[in-house]
Structure 1
């Protein structure tokens, strides 16, 4: 009989400490860089770009819009309501301003996201890979956004814990967290899709198991495929195991699964319907709001044009090559996840996040930020990092953390929005 595992929070403690250290480094470098340029790092984090739109919603509600000289209309209806609601609630019970409340929500949400990422990776591959996954998420080049009064950290936290709930058979929790994710960002559809696809496959599995002669139900124990807790290579999932459906989840009653599936889309659908009613344009109201921001879904055509345009001159051609390499790396990591039989919930979620980010028709400079919630693509890299000696993995992480801190400070002190 295997010894009982330590509580999740205790297992996640090293990952959270490492995450906090990386984020602290990023904030210190940002503060120094901003001060050298005569700017306030805190203002950059809390009162510029999207942060201003969120705090305006928190303070004044919806209805504010900006009409640009070219005729475009930027409406704050484009921003989903959960982050502003939390900012307003925290402002109401504390002396914090709306901007301060947004920063505090982001700070706490980033820690919750780090813990959720650890929980998912630990459940699938073990605690060592979980720690490495969290650290890799922290040292992303755009990781400084995790400390901004933006909604990425909040969304990633809700998505990660919803996926963890799916992997452990907590369907009502999975659906509830998916609904909250749907109130946070349009990409909440990715979490809803993960719940629905996993749910449908679970019912298909039940039906095939019930109808098969002599069929009996077996529960699968965790099988770590990338790295064991001691850093050694653990055995892969055995062929025929339902690894692609819900590999480690105990059986759940059908009504639990159905209820979770029913709850999951309520957040996103509720807000989209509300916007449609407010704009008097029905189901297309939110799409019209996004069109006012020149944002839409074109299958990646505009992004491909953007990359192609980089090759009109030599200096920008280097950026074009970098973009192609970056996209190819993302796709390779995603395919690697498929080949290593990641649970279908992770594959569906990641696939939708990647598709929505890469195939959006505008805000190309923001795509790295929009890709940040796709943390499962980091799991193959986390497995490779986990197999290194501890001293080497620490060195690699430290170098990446320093590079990310410098890039983040440079990025946020630029002219354009992240």
Structure 2
């Protein structure tokens, strides 16, 4: 039996869902309080500018594209004067499917359903982050990790009718399933994550990496049995399930566009999105140094990237489980090395929650009397920034 399966077997003796919810309650209540503060700040700021906070959350940028998919299906596109073609085939289908389902069975509109899905998914994501952090560290670190995820400067995206919260929830629970030896559940959730965002590749890679290591360890120990019965069957089934979501959608897009298996890349190219190894991002950073105010922004960007690299190195030094390292590493690389518009990169990094575990460990070591003011102060700052950001450029 592998290390993951041994820990998984031990966890199966833990309290059921109600007991697990009670353990996560402090994290979820803290998360809800931070998000409520952010929404209050957004409402007040928007009202002062004669804008609708609800419209900012549900009917701008990508949220409009998702609702169009839910309402009209795929095939809508916008041709720009530059010749670029923005096709809604770039948007993965799980969120629009949920919006369509919600609008069909409730009085809610597609946009309303997208907002509700985001709110519920953000709570599920917070619970999943807590579960993973508690499993790897302890309960206090789990609470701190959730609070840190909540107070990220672009945390307001977690409450928007976007797919970040839904994806993070599926990714976190898939990773938790891997860590506890529930291979079929991990594969199924990875498949759903792959139907949510292109970065679902990172979840699939995490499942596969863990499974390969588990097979190797089982062979070295003279067996290949799962904790649940048939030798290796559950692991193999989890591996087979994991890529089905993303692969299925990408292949369908290729068939629909008539451009074969790589047709989705052409769709992304119409949005000027692609993977260039970070060349576009490097040019963007370099361009900031052409003026004095821009130079300060450029220095800030370099420091931000260096901080991400340092956090990942600390994750490795703290011996995070391989699935978390693979997942966080790929999410970070795909976010930073894509040629997409820079303004979208902060929200693309939201799902990389394992990077928050090192500061969560540090925060957990402080007494509550010292950590609480820190978290509250950062929460207020994040709420104000989120309101300012969403009333301005916002997340494209």
Which bracket does the TM-score occupy, shorter chain normalised?
Answer: over 0.9
How far did residue 358 of structure 1 move?
A: 0.4
Residue equivalent to 1:401: 379
Matches within 5 A, 1:1-400: 7-210=19-222, 253-400=231-378
Compared CA separation, residues 365 and 405, structure 1 to 2 (3 A): same
| TM-score, normalising length: structure 1 | 0.89
CA contact (8 A) 1:168 1:250 kept: no
CA RMSD of aligned residues (A): 1.7
Secondary structure of the 1:90 match is helix
Structure 2 Cα separation of the partners of residues 317 and 27 of structure 1: 33
CA contact (8 A) 1:182 1:188 kept: yes
CA contact (8 A) 1:172 1:257 kept: yes
Structure 1 Cα separation of the partners of residues 228 and 90 of structure 2: 39
How far did residue 415 of structure 1 move?
A: 3.5
CA contact (8 A) 1:55 1:84 kept: yes
Compared CA separation, residues 344 and 251, structure 1 to 2 (3 A): farther
How far did residue 392 of structure 1 move?
A: 1.2
CA contact (8 A) 1:78 1:286 kept: yes
Residue equivalent to 2:7: none
Q: Which has the higher helix share?
A: 2
Structure 1 Cα separation of the partners of residues 377 and 176 of structure 2: 30
Identify unmatched segments of 5+ residues in structure 1: 218-248
CA contact (8 A) 2:347 2:395 kept: no
Compared CA separation, residues 329 and 60, structure 1 to 2 (3 A): same
How far did residue 391 of structure 1 move?
A: 1.4
Structure 1 Cα separation of the partners of residues 91 and 25 of structure 2: 33
How far did residue 417 of structure 1 move?
A: 3.7
Secondary structure of the 1:386 match is helix
Residue equivalent to 1:244: none
Structure 2 Cα separation of the partners of residues 389 and 197 of structure 1: 37
Structure 2 Cα separation of the partners of residues 396 and 415 of structure 1: 28
Structure 2 Cα separation of the partners of residues 195 and 268 of structure 1: 14
Compared CA separation, residues 416 and 106, structure 1 to 2 (3 A): closer
Structure 2 Cα separation of the partners of residues 388 and 197 of structure 1: 34
